[in-house]
A and B are shown apart, each in its own frame.
Chain A
Amino acid sequence: MATADRAEELVDQVRSAFGRARRLRIRGGGTKDWYGEPPADGSAETTLDTRIHTGIVEYDPSELVVTARCGTPLAELEAALAASGQMLACEAPHFGAQATVGGCIAAGLSGPRRATSGSVRDFVLGAKLINGRGQHLSFGGQVIKNVAGYDVSRLLAGSLGILGVITEVSLKVVPAPVAEATLRFDGVPEQVALERLNRWGGQPLPLSASAWSAGTLHLRLSGAAAAVDAARSALGGDRLDPVDAAAFWTALREQSAPFFAGDVPLWRLSLPSTTPPLTGLDTSAGAGAGLVEWGGALRWLRSDAPAALLREAARSAGGHATLFRRGQGKSGAHGMPAGCFAPLDPALLRIHQRLKAEFDPAGLFNHGRLYPGL
């Protein structure tokens, strides 16, 4: 495993960009290049490659904390944890073999375990950041409880690099479950699946993931052997072979499952888990165009319906809709192309603008990737 402390070179690159007012596009393995708004003018940006700064800095399994540099391959970090019987509980997607720890934090995307274990930001304990002035700052730390100062390190999770270059992160890790089982239920309509998932969520069951699509519900149980066995007999369903089960959840997390293939725009709707099935939004793709995760709180849709329609449906349900992958369709037809992320209300947008100005006054980093002008 490569390890190299080259933070100073990254700092120099930022200072140089600051001096020349040259915009930077922060990039790790490039596995999530497609995520967020595309650069308005790519030629006006210099790529800052975070992969030079790599390696696990500290890992003591009895502390339940790992500290790694931004360029560390996510797969390498996960392998190191697995060797000690531990894991990242947010089960973040890689979207490619080159995925890095820095990209994982900046994208802030969580996987199947999110609803029951927590999100990427929930496990961030500390981070180092190069801000837009080229200052290398350290926030949070390596301890599980820490309320000294504002929680800047958690703010960085999902910030898409607009506040600065995340150079190092400390994450809380958890023991890998002793036992696991995946159950399959066929012939379950979406409405019934949602009711069951929410009802089960209120019971002391060792749920760790769920997925519903095209009338089939998959449920993953993880925990103490006794708890998984007891839940299995209480819930019924058909148990998947462990190898097939692992492949199923990986394909879901990595979006390599058949549902995600094709060119129809992929919408990600984050909603209260009890929101009834959304209808009339998957205009061209027809029935079976939806996939439900996170106990009902995450709904994927293949749809080329107008962005405004999807956004309004999500908003009125108390959530929001993201144009996750544009595909080749004409989403946001009627003239303007749709933005990836749901627009912010004016008071929130003002806070975003001021934060951006405080961290990155010259607007160097990932300009416009989250919202225009940020």
Chain B
Amino acid sequence: MDTFAEAATGRDALVSRLRALLPDGSVLDTDEAQRPYECDGLTLFRQLPLATVLPSTEAQLVSVIRLCREAGVPIVPRGAGTGLSGGATPHAHGVLLSTAKMSRILSIDPLARTARVQPGVRNLAISEAAAKHGLYYAPDPSSQIACSIGGNVAENSGGVHCLKYGLTVHNVLRVRAVTIDGEVVEFGSGALDSPGLDLLAVLVGSEGMLAVTTEVTVRLIPRPQLARCIMASFGDVGVAGDAVAKLIAAGIIPAGLEMMDQPATRMVEPFANAGYDLDAAAILLCEADGTPEEVDEEIARMSEVLRAAGATGLRVSASEAERLRFWAGRKNAFPAAGRVSPDYYCMDGTIPRRRLGEMLRAIQQMEVKYDMRCPNVFHAGDGNLHPLILFDANDPSSLARAEAFGADILELCVKLGGTVTGEHGVGIEKINQMCVQFPADEREQFFGVKRAFDPHGLLNPDKCIPTLHRCAEYGRLKVHGGALPHPELERF
């Protein structure tokens, strides 16, 4: 029997066994039906899985995992598919497991300030449901109208307010998840800690490689009475970067602290009408929240520091509508990039804040080197960069240059003492750069963590942590392509 026929038979058998476990319409196996699942927000990589399953209950999800475990079939979990690093890119010989049908808010306890939700619930839906109690869920990734809490747990998602309010890992109390052995395990609890090792801390941000989330308990916090935002203009990006450090050094933790350079404001403005100062080389958005007294006090302190740091103009939002407009521009930076360019490639490195100016100058030089435009938006308070490399995927040379440009940025992030990904995850996109950030012993210890949860390597295989072999290949490629960047870095 030839291998194609064998594979087809194996697939048909798998599909019919999956169909026996799930309600009608919950197992997709045609190319046409599976097309929406062939990629996540990282559209550069597309792959159809063997089958796509959409369980509606935890019991169905357990039965799918048990079947795959027994048959040795890889599983790729998927939330809303908004991830930007290919964490949910399907496996050619695997099952894509979507939690989209598990989308109920199970309970909200206003007194305990918690919400218990299924993994497919949208991030923003939690805050909307909690609003009547004066509460909300703090992490607010730009994709919050669409992204799911299960995906947020997998990626340890951040947002524009995490300097003050933390990341997903700081706002999740409990995750109920299914292991590759089909066992339901509770990580964390309704209390503030749990006995034993803090496995919840490892599970959050593990990119679906350790267990599949079926339920999440999040912490809700009181909505501030008031928020106001300063838009500060600067004549130089380096001066704007230094102003960020000065705000922090002054003991101020703004609720949000974002920076956009002029190419970014000019790209966004026609699209979002945010009212940005288009003559400024860079703008900072600095938000204060709390009681009206607190906000007044903080706006005054921030204004003073910003002026002393060389701001050429300050505008404080005069109304909630204006504040939301300031943020709408920032949150629409990615869609705006999609309007001005056939394609864009969003980077996600994080560096120590004091290196911001240096990084921006280096990116400007790379724009010349690769002959490509790269507007910059940042979570400046966190040192988390989102350079948007504009390119055309239909032009192979443009695509190759964009990828090389991105790799250069990420490797410079590591060199400056930072990381290749602040909040978007490694997935398949940044797997080569993991070779630059982590030596072989660290990567082997990561594999050890993976084996402790998933000894057979069936959950989202080949993502996040590169093998020794892959890193060796990457090293050769980089050497072959020209001078090795950052020769001082250890390589394996």
Mark A residues whose CB is within 8 Å of B: 60-65, 85-86, 108, 114-115, 118-119, 121-122, 131, 135, 137-139, 141-152, 154-155, 157-159, 162-163, 174-176, 178, 198-199, 201-205, 223-227, 229-230, 270-274, 294, 297-298, 318-320, 322, 341-345, 347-348, 351-352, 354-355, 357-359, 370-371
Contacts and interface: CB of A to CB of B under 8 A. Distances in A.
A352 B197 CA distance: 7
Given A146-B422, A320-B195, A226 B291 contact: yes
B410 to A, nearest CB: 10
Contacts of B58: none
Contact of A224 (B191, B192, B293, B354): B293
Contacts of A272: 112, 114, 189-191
Contact of B350 (A146, A230, A341): A146
Nearest to A268: B193
Contacts of A320: 189, 191, 194-195
Contact of A199 (B111, B158, B210, B434): B111
Most B CB atoms within 10 A — which of A143, A149, A152, A344?
A149
Contacts of B204: 151
Given A114-B192, A347-B179, A354-B452, 10 more contacts: A143-B350, A147-B423, A148-B426, A155-B197, A175-B252, A202-B133, A271-B190, A341-B196, A343-B195, A348-B187
B224 interface: yes
Interface stretch (B161-169, B323-331, B364-372): B161-169
Nearest to A340: B195
B388 to A, nearest CB: 18
Given A62-B354, A203-B134, A270-B192, A149 B442 contact: yes
25 contacts: A63-B245, A137-B441, A142-B352, A144-B162, A145-B350, A145-B384, A146-B421, A147-B421, A147-B422, A147-B424, A148-B430, A148-B438, A149-B465, A150-B210, A158-B198, A163-B197, A176-B251, A199-B111, A224-B290, A227-B293, A230-B291, A297-B192, A320-B194, A343-B195, A348-B187
Given A159-B197, A355-B197, A202 B297 contact: no
Contact of B248 (A62, A119, A199, A370): A62
B417 A358 contact: no
Contacts of B198: 108, 121, 154-155, 157-159
A202 B445 contact: no
Nearest to B422: A145
A130 to B, nearest CB: 11
10 closest Cβ contacts across the A-B interface?
A358-B448, A226-B293, A145-B422, A175-B251, A154-B201, A354-B452, A272-B190, A319-B191, A62-B249, A62-B245
A147 B205 contact: yes
A359 B448 contact: yes
Given A143-B350, A145-B423, A155-B202, A178 B169 contact: no
B222 A342 contact: no
A114 B351 CA distance: 28
A154 B294 contact: no
A154 B169 contact: yes
B432 interface: no
Q: Which of A158, A199, A271 has the most CB of B within 10 A?
A: A158
Contacts of B453: 351, 354
A20 B330 CA distance: 59
Contacts of A273: 112
A63 B383 CA distance: 9
Nearest to B194: A320
A129 B465 CA distance: 19
Contacts of A60: 352, 354
Interface in B165-208: 166-167, 169-170, 179, 181, 183-187, 189-199, 201-202, 204-206
Interface of B: 109-114, 133-135, 155-156, 158, 162-163, 166-167, 169-170, 179, 181, 183-187, 189-199, 201-202, 204-206, 210, 222-225, 245-246, 248-249, 251-253, 290-291, 293-294, 296-298, 350-354, 379, 382-384, 417-426, 430, 434, 437-438, 441-443, 445-446, 448-453, 455, 464-465
A146 B162 CA distance: 12
Contact of A85 (B197, B251, B352, B419): B251
A248 to B, nearest CB: 22
Nearest to A154: B201
A178 B192 CA distance: 27
Contact of B202 (A119, A122, A151, A358): A151
Given A64-B248, A147-B205, A138 B195 contact: no
Contacts of B224: 204
A61 B249 contact: yes
A162 B196 CA distance: 11
A65 B192 CA distance: 24
A270 B194 CA distance: 8
A115 B170 CA distance: 12
A351 B449 CA distance: 9
Interface centre among A65, A155, A225, A343 (most CB of B within 10 A): A155
Nearest to A122: B170
A141 B419 contact: yes
Given A148-B420, A204-B225, A351-B453, A143 B382 contact: yes
Contacts of B430: 148
A157 B354 CA distance: 28
Given A63-B352, A144-B382, A358 B290 contact: no
A61 B252 CA distance: 12
A62 B197 contact: no
A64 B245 CA distance: 10
Contacts of A274: 109, 111-112
B106 to A, nearest CB: 15
B28 to A, nearest CB: 30
Contacts of A199: 111
A149 B446 contact: yes
B382 A145 contact: yes
A157 B194 CA distance: 12
Given A202-B111, A204-B225, A348-B199, A319 B189 contact: yes
B152 to A, nearest CB: 11
A202 B109 CA distance: 11
A145 B249 contact: no
Residue among A115, A202, A297 having the largest count of chain B Cβ atoms under 10 Å = A202
Nearest to B163: A144
Contact of A142 (B205, B417, B422): B417
Contacts of A354: 451-453, 455
A122 B166 contact: yes
A358 B442 CA distance: 12
Nearest to A177: B251
Given A62-B248, A63-B354, A274-B109, A358 B253 contact: no
Contact of B464 (A64, A149, A154, A202): A149
A200 to B, nearest CB: 10
B416 to A, nearest CB: 10
A355 B452 contact: yes
A347 to B, nearest CB: 4
B223 A148 contact: no
Contacts of B196: 341, 344, 348, 352, 370-371
Given A62-B246, A151-B169, A144 B192 contact: no
- Among A118, A174, A348, max chain B CB count under 10 A is at A348
A319 B194 CA distance: 7
A111 to B, nearest CB: 12
A235 B114 CA distance: 24
A203 B210 CA distance: 36
A171 to B, nearest CB: 14
